[in-house]
Structure 1
Amino acid sequence: MYEQMNSQFLSLGKNFADAVVKAQGVALSGFEKMADLQLKAVESQVSASSAFWSEASEVRDFEAAKSIWPKGVQLAKESAEKLYSTNQEVLGLTLKTNEALGNLIKGSIEATNETVTKQVNAVKKAASGK
């Protein structure tokens, strides 16, 4: 009887360890995608901002300042739109990652439940057969 309990606990421990490793892989993959997406957004914004400020640094009079003003407004608008877009994509990736983790946990619980049920039924059958 102790051997059956030990094998059951070992099986549950193995299932738990497998689920943790898979969950870690899913979480790291999601994090990597989000970091890559945000890094690309930052790179494009830094490039656009540095180009604007390079042009703005050459402004010497009021007329030049008036001509660069619409470009600054456009840059601010594009930056806000890009920020919103990137945040929406990150949210989508987060939801997909959480869904994958939920499916992994659900599958792990179902597999564990099936294993325990089989072992309990085997013990019941052995006990009633004696």
Structure 2
Amino acid sequence: MFEQYSNPFASMTQNFAATTLKANNLAFQNFERVMGLQLKTFQDTLNATVAFMGEAAEVRDMDGAKAIWPKGVALVKESTETLYSTGQEVLGSTLKTSEAIGQIYKSQFEDAGHSVVKTASKAAKAK
């Protein structure tokens, strides 16, 4: 009687492991994508800041400070907008990945439920 149950459960366990591997793969791909976006944003922002600081270091009088002030304000504005848009992109990517992982597990549990019901009905008929 135990053999009736062992094969379906072993199969479900194997399917669950394969599903977990798929979900982990999706999560890792999302991690790579998010890190790539964040590193690119950090690099671009850092390059712009270093360029601005190089320009600001050459300022020697008040007129030079007045001339560079709008550039500093524009740098802060652009950096903030870039960070915000990157954050939105990261959030969107993470939500899509979470939905895909949820769908994978949902179908896995539905399949497992159907398999258990079939096995139980076969066992009940066998009695």
TM over 0.5: yes
Q: For residues 39-85 of structure 1, what are the alpha-carbon distances to aligned partners after superposition, in whole Å with 9 as ceiling and x for unaligned?
A: 11111101111111111111111111110010000000101111110
Q: In structure 2, how many angstroms separate the alpha carbons of the residues matched to 1:47 and 1:68?
A: 17
Partner of 1:69: 69
Aligned residue runs from structure 1 range 1-130, under 5 A:
1-127=1-127
Percent identity, aligned pairs only?
Answer: 48
Displacement of 1:111 after TM fit? 1.2
Contact 2:8–2:119 (8 Å) recurs in 1: yes
Contact 2:5–2:119 (8 Å) recurs in 1: no
Q: In structure 2, how many angstroms separate the alpha carbons of the residues matched to 1:9 and 1:95?
A: 32
TM-score where L is the length of structure 2: 0.95
Displacement of 1:125 after TM fit? 2.1
User: Structure 1: where are the runs of 5+ without partners?
Assistant: none
Q: In structure 2, how many angstroms separate the alpha carbons of the residues matched to 1:17 and 1:38?
A: 31
User: Structure 2: where are the runs of 5+ without partners?
Assistant: none
- RMSD (Å), alpha carbons: 1.0
Q: In structure 2, how many angstroms separate the alpha carbons of the residues matched to 1:111 and 1:9?
A: 12
TM-score where L is the length of structure 1: 0.93
- Number of residues of Structure 1 aligned to a counterpart in Structure 2: 127
